[in-house]
Amino acid sequence: MRKQIAAANWKMNKSLEEGKSLLEEILSSVESVPSNHEVVFAVPYPYLYPLQSIVEGKNNIFLSAQNCHHKTAGAFTGEVAVDMIASIGLKFCVVGHSERREYFAESNAVLADKVNLCLTKEITPIFCCGEPLDIREAGAQNQYVEQQLQESLFHLDEVAIQKVVIAYEPIWAIGTGKTASSAQAQEMHAHIRSVLSKKYGTEVAAEISILYGGSVKGANAVELFSQPDVDGGLVGGASLVAQEFIQIIKALQ
């Protein structure tokens, strides 16, 4: 059975003390996480090690890096290698968020390298894909997302692909207040699973968690997560508000 996941992406927000208070408040209301659920907090790099002690020993609750470099080591000032992330015990890393693609020109080929490095260290990549507004308006979103998957993930074998979590982000719905309807989200998630099925077979595709990322809030989480191919959310702004993210966690199916 594939995991249902509530993943928080704090992006470049909060001081360490603010982040610690936020995490503790959320966890104080989440007494236990069922075995088929996972709660993941992608926090800024400086906070990963100090916050690790808060989640340590809690079942199915994890910290995640927001990004990693596509090389193992070297003269890349300011970057963070997968080995470094693994050395502090992390099990997740966000790869290919739309903001990384847009602002840092990360290509599908570079993201394939990042996925590979994560998997060599048994770190689960939360691989982001999704279309901008002009592609959606042109009705070309299915082909656009399929190409992202093909160029970044389809070199993986049947065993490796099941170790990846996919997050669909309609870029036009990130930070805009717009949200894809539950029907639109389900339509794309079903398409992604069908693309995976063609490549790897239906049994493998059925084991891969596909999250929705795009203005997920406490108010719409239940409806979104009730869709058969939506396995939780990658949550931005609402994850910075304790009561919002608590609602989102409790909305997991």
Given 37, 97, 106, 244, the catalytic residue: 97
CA dist 147 → 130, 195, 216 (Å): 10, 10, 25
Cα distance between residue 4 and residue 38, in whole Å: 6
* CB atoms closer than 10 angstroms to residue 87: 11
Catalytic residue among 38, 99, 169, 244: 169
Q: Is 169 a catalytic residue?
A: yes
List CB contacts of 195: < 8 A, sequence separation 6 or more.
Answer: 145, 146, 149
Report yes or no: 188 and 146 within 8 Å, Cβ to Cβ: no
Catalytic residues: 97, 169
